[in-house]
Amino acid sequence: MSYIELKDISYKYPLSKDVVLKEISYTFEKGKLYGIIGPNGGGKTTLCNLIKGLIPNFYDGELTGEVLIEGKDIRDWDSSVLATTIGYIFQNPFTQISGIKETVFEEIALGLENLGVEKEIMINRVIEVIKLLGIEDLVEKDPNKLSGGQRQRVAFASIIAMDSDILVIDEPTSQLDPQGTSDVFKIIQGLKEQGKTILLVEHKIDLIAEYADEVLVIDQGELIYSGETSEIISNRELLNIGISIPQVALLSHDMQTSNEPFEQFAITKSQARE
């Protein structure tokens, strides 16, 4: 059974003039990392909101088609179970911080607290995640006074503490310097190794090339390309919609596709000796 399935999804926000997603179908398998790329305004965040179940519950609007998680329509899932099954890291970490807790430690514990997890288990779990992310220096800080990069790490910690099976991550590196970006991608890779299914919106195409198993390209609400990462990111057509292609991807793609003519010139060992 497919893990997450989009079946002919079209969506229009209550106040948008046109549909913002058009007949999108795709099957996501468990344990893979999916990169979602495309020009601004194409519909990537809307698709994330939809998979997270924020649409239609939160936004209303007109939705046709189905989003199935483990074969069951998200509209039929109990909303609290859905909320723990899918973790969502927002594009803007400023909206991710609750604003009601006085320390980072309490902020990270909040999701578990809301689930009614026993105090001792909760504390141990939070300590574990803090150590995992190496953010011991932040625990006593006021979550409302953190830098963008620090907030991003705390947002990750809160989500990891919840141990959701599916993670939808919308531009996690937008607030981060190169070191922070590399740290976050190590965390994402670690989550994948734990068997999490990850949907990742990311503008930095070289990171998608390195980490994603499959890529979806969304432009003007349509899924225009999708499939294995190496195939998709070496497609020169991406340049037409303003997506740069990593040189290394083009090079390795060209070498693969140019094998045949080279084989005509291949010589045997005995010919070479002659």
**Residue ranges that bind ligand ADP, judged by CB under 6 A:** 13, 15-16, 20, 38, 40-46
Q: How far is the CB of 16 from ligand ADP (least distance, A)?
A: 4
Nearer to ligand ADP by Cβ, of 31 and 65: the residue is 65
CB 68 within 8 A of CB 25: no
Residue 245 makes CB contacts below 8 A (sequence gap 6+) with 205, 233, 234, 235, 236, 238, 239
Q: How far is the CB of 170 from ligand ADP (least distance, A)?
A: 7
CB 132 within 8 A of CB 183: no
Distance, CA of 71 to CA of 6 (rounded, Å):
10
CB 188 within 8 A of CB 169: yes
Q: How far is the CB of 6 from ligand ADP (least distance, A)?
A: 14
Q: How far is the CB of 216 from ligand ADP (least distance, A)?
A: 11
Write out the DSSP string of 73-87: EGGGS-HHHHHHHEE
Helix (H) or strand (E) holding 101: none
Q: How far is the CB of 58 from ligand ADP (least distance, A)?
A: 10
Nearer to ligand ADP by Cβ, of 43 and 149: the residue is 43
Distance, CA of 232 to CA of 221 (rounded, Å):
18
Alpha helices in 52-202 (DSSP H): 54-57, 79-85, 93-96, 104-114, 119-133, 148-162, 178-193
Q: How far is the CB of 249 from ligand ADP (least distance, A)?
A: 22
172: alpha, beta or left, given left = phi > 0 and alpha = psi -120 to 50? alpha
Nearer to ligand ADP by Cβ, of 46 and 229: the residue is 46
Nearer to ligand ADP by Cβ, of 52 and 125: the residue is 52
Nearer to ligand ADP by Cβ, of 91 and 252: the residue is 91
Nearer to ligand ADP by Cβ, of 40 and 268: the residue is 40
